Amino acid sequence: DTEVTQTPKHLVMGMTNKKSLKCEQHMGHRAMYWYKQKAKKPPELMFVYSYEKLSINESVPSRFSPECPNSSLLNLHLHALQPEDSALYLCASSQVAGGDTGELFFGEGSRLTVL
Amino acid sequence: GEDVEQSLFLSVREGDSSVINCTYTDSSSTYLYWYKQEPGAGLQLLTYIFSNMDMKQDQRLTVLLNKKDKHLSLRIADTQTGDSAIYFCAEGSGGYNKLIFGAGTRLAVHP
């Protein structure tokens, strides 16, 4: 199994809603990532979890709250978002061990629209 | 700071070779990657090259690395319509990894 599965594929929410994006992998990877991708732009790193602990937060606003309940799951909780937060949210995973190629396996993404 | 630059668009005829270029600034990068993104989809790793290599070939793909000039290229031989996508160059350090992506090159393949 070399898949990263993200749900939902599409999400429309209002600025007062609370929703969550979910990501799952069963490759035994111990690093998991959230990236944000705006239209016609490259992915931008938001968060990195390593061994279920938050290792990198790229100064992301607190209306985005990541959670890593276990080594296979990664969530992104959304609350009080703004229309400019509309984007494709990509989850990825990778091995952590030093010397590895650092290949990131990406999910298909969750396309978020904030009204 | 870290920066990865790519040309934004390339149009080729089906059957021709495509060459997508990338420059990067971080000389400490251990690995350089090429990812492919089809419309509405996630990113798929095509190939990578270790920074102490200067060439890697994988079926129709050839990666060339000029470490002195910090220039990376991806050549796709016999380009097909299914190769139409956005190609991202990225640099990283391996392991638990913060990748820096270029802006992406949109490859259009026409008959």
Chain A CA closest to residue B50 = A101
Region A65-86: mean pLDDT is: 96
Nearest to B67 by CA among B19, B20, B28: B28
Q: Which residues of chain B neighbour A104 with C-beta distances below 8 Å?
A: 43, 45, 97, 99
Note the pLDDT of residue A44: 92
pLDDT tens for each residue of A21-63: 999 999 999 899 999 999 888 999 999 998 999 988 999 999 9
Could you tell me if B24 lies within 8 Å of chain A, comparing CB atoms? no
Indicate the average pLDDT of chain B: 90
- DSSP code per residue over A27-58: S---EEEEEEE-TTS--EEEEEEETTEEEEE-
CA A90 to chain centre: 5
Count of residues in chain A: 115
CB B96 within 8 A of CB A93: no
User: Token pair for residue B35?
Assistant: 């990812």
Chain A CA closest to residue B92 = A102
Q: Which residues of chain A neighbour B98 with C-beta distances below 8 Å?
A: 45, 48, 56
Q: From CA A89, how far away is CA B49, in angstroms rounded?
A: 27
User: Token pair for residue B30?
Assistant: 């251990």
Chain B CA closest to residue A46 = B98
Give B32's strand partners. B49, B91
CB contact under 8 A, B96 and A55: yes
